[in-house]
Structure 1
Amino acid sequence: MPRQSRKESGTGIYHVMIRGINHQKIFNDEEDYFQFIATLDRMRFRYDDEGAPCGSNCTYYAYCLMSNHLHLLIRERGETVGETIKRIAGSYVFYYNRKYGRDGHLFKDRFKSEPVNDMGYFTTLLRYIHQNPVKAKLVERVRDYAYSSWGEFDGTVEPVFQICDTTTVLKRIPFDELKEWVDEPLEDDVPCLEMEDTPRERPSDDQIMLLIKEHTGVTNSTAFQQLQDGIKREVLKFLKSKGASYRQLERLTGVGRGLIQGL
């Protein structure tokens, strides 16, 4: 089956995800993470024969580097997003293979991307990208993760080391408002790019209620809330393992989202 063409963005902005081949690690230590950030920095410019920057290839708005994949919110400038990602990947693979005495591919051969055509989804992605380490339980708070662009927004990264265009974002979204949004967990069913090659199917509300009835005998949220705490926790864990979202569980069981997320 021939590959489908990438969907083009009317704004030139894309959410890109790159992952290691066979889900292998692409960052093993701090040096690897900072090498990739330095690569992002270099590849956003074009250079003249003297080695001085002479134009812009792209603009970054956000990034987050995880051990076996990364997310990037990027805008095309002097070249296509495909050309930019190809140069970024090629440069980092050269470094990685030399450092670890290996050869061959490091990244999955085709990166994932989706167009970003409105401010609402752009804001959702700022939250989604920066919340990746929290969702993976690597840190408790977005600001605690060292290998994302959030430090550029909150000022903990010195301006000389900043690679993202935070100014344009903060002109549209005041920092206090952005921080509040980023600190508020997104629902599990927000339709951003995911690691899986196929979409994860979620159970319907009726299917969830049937599972609750099978495991507890109750048929409504009021009765569910009256169950013993241990039983409620076990059932909620089970429903989460079946793909139920936080929003569904909160709505159908009456249990607060904070408790559900903590399970």
Structure 2
Amino acid sequence: MPRKPRSKSPTGYFHVTLRGNGGQLLFDSDEDRIALLQILDVILPKHNIELIAWCLMGNHIHLLINDPDDRKSEAVHAIAVSFAGRYNAQTGHVGHVFQERFWDSPIKSEEYLFESIRYIHLNPQKAGLAAYDEYLWSSHREYLMSALSRPYVTGNVVDVLFPTPRTYLRFMESAPSLPYRPNTTAKVREEDLSGFGTAIVQSVAGCAPTELKSVSKALRNEAILALRKEGLTIKQVQLLTGLGVWIIKNAA
């Protein structure tokens, strides 16, 4: 069955998400994170793509890009190949490092552009890793620098949206102007289900998927919602956890 064509963006901006294959961790050290950022810094300009915001999580990364020539597919492929080569050489891993196809969400308007920046910078805080302004591996700190001092963010639009650091900080502490959620509706492949789902449940509930029956209702529902948010169908959650369909459907 042919793949669906990727969506077009009326603005040229996209929120791109790359995930570790089967939920595997992408970074063993700060050196790995720096290596990925350096790869972005080399490859994106070659494709006339500006990096507007970024965040490196454990098993996935978020990128907000300006892609006026619609070259993100070849750019992301080059990024994945470059990082995977380094990763496999260092770890002895064989095979894909990233999931086969990245996810991308077209940014429809300036409002969505603002909210995608907020979403990306708040990602570590929402995941319970650290407050957004304490997390080291996002572009938050670059937004407090002058344009010439930013090591990885290249988009001039940042200074248009936020003329001063104070403007940016006020925005981050303000209420969202509209609901925002990137497109993460790609189906999880059956062969990736166990590893990917187990990593999510472990990070949320601290247990194996089949042990969710014994944790509190609130924690169980949080884990179910996390699985559903990451693209698992109700049937896949049922197969992974052994929970009943109605428990999964009624998680809130």
Q: Do these two structures clear the TM 0.5 threshold for a shared fold by scoring above it?
A: yes
- The superposition leaves residues 102-160 of structure 1 with CA deviations (integer Å, 9 ceiling, x where unpaired) of 221000000000111210000000000010110111112x121111111111129981x
Displacement of 1:28 in angstroms is: 1.4
User: Quick one: which amino acid aligns to residue 161 of structure 2?
Assistant: R
1:155 paired to 2:145:
yes
1:110 paired to 2:96:
no
* Contact 2:147 2:156 (8 Å CA) reproduced: no
Q: What's 2:50 paired with? A: 59
Displacement of 1:197 in angstroms is: 3.9
- Paired positions, count: 197
Q: What's 1:145 paired with? A: 135
Structure 1 unaligned residues grouped into runs of 5+: 47-55, 199-233, 244-263
**CA–CA distance in 2 between the matches of 1:197 and 1:183?**
34
User: Quick one: which amino acid aligns to residue 94 of structure 2?
Assistant: D
Displacement of 1:238 in angstroms is: 7.9
Q: What's 1:4 paired with? A: 4
Q: Give 1 or 2 for the bigger CA radius of gyration.
A: 1
Which residues in structure 2 correspond to 1:116-195 (within 5 Å)? 116-140=107-131, 142-155=132-145, 159=149, 162-165=151-154, 167-174=156-163, 175-184=165-174, 190-194=180-184
* Contact 2:49 2:66 (8 Å CA) reproduced: yes
* Contact 2:27 2:33 (8 Å CA) reproduced: yes
Q: Structure 1 length normalisation: TM-score? A: 0.66
Structure 2 unaligned residues grouped into runs of 5+: 189-215, 226-252
Deviating 4+ runs (over 3 angstroms): 183-187, 193-198, 234-243
After superposing the two structures, state which structure 1 stretch, 123-132 or 234-243, moved more. Answer: 234-243
Q: What's 1:201 paired with? A: none
RMSD: 3.0
Q: What's 1:40 paired with? A: 40
Q: Structure 2 length normalisation: TM-score? A: 0.68
Quick one: higher RCO (CA 8 Å, sep 6+), 1 or 2? 2
**CA–CA distance in 2 between the matches of 1:25 and 1:238?**
23
* Contact 1:75 1:81 (8 Å CA) reproduced: no
User: Quick one: which amino acid aligns to residue 173 of structure 1?
Assistant: F
User: Quick one: which amino acid aligns to residue 92 of structure 1?
Assistant: F
* Contact 2:112 2:180 (8 Å CA) reproduced: no
Change (3 A) 1:235 1:85: closer
* Contact 2:14 2:64 (8 Å CA) reproduced: yes
